[in-house]
Amino acid sequence: MSDIKINILNSDDSITNIEAPTDMGLSLMEILKGHEYDILATCGGMALCATCHVEIVSGFDKLKEISDDEYAMLDTLPNITSTSRLSCQLRISQEMNDITVRIMGDGV
């Protein structure tokens, strides 16, 4: 099975489930944009703008470790949480199945 389920915690606290392919090398940002979520991604996925900021509500422990560059960009945000990540830096993988994210970037 090459698709995984990602849960999106919406602003009204409802959850939307989306499917994401693991065999295309896509980032979480690209998946969210593809499902028409309002992600600005001003820098195009280079970890330079933080407009694709998400909070990992559940499943944070399933993610690869954060890079110094990603953390440096997140550290500039006023609404950073202990489970904040840049969705452009999260490549879709089987390990991410069933994570829950809240979109935090400027596009919301």
Burial class (CB in 10 A: 0-12, 13-18, 19+), 76: exposed
List CB contacts of 23: < 8 A, sequence separation 6 or more: 2
Domains of the chain in start order, with CATH, are 3-103 (3.10.20.30)
Question: 60, 83 in Cβ contact below 8 A?
Answer: yes
| pLDDT tens sequence for the chain (108 residues) | 589 999 999 999 999 999 999 999 999 999 999 999 989 889 999 999 999 999 999 999 999 999 999 999 999 999 999 999 999 999 999 999 999 999 997 644
3-state secondary structure of 85: strand
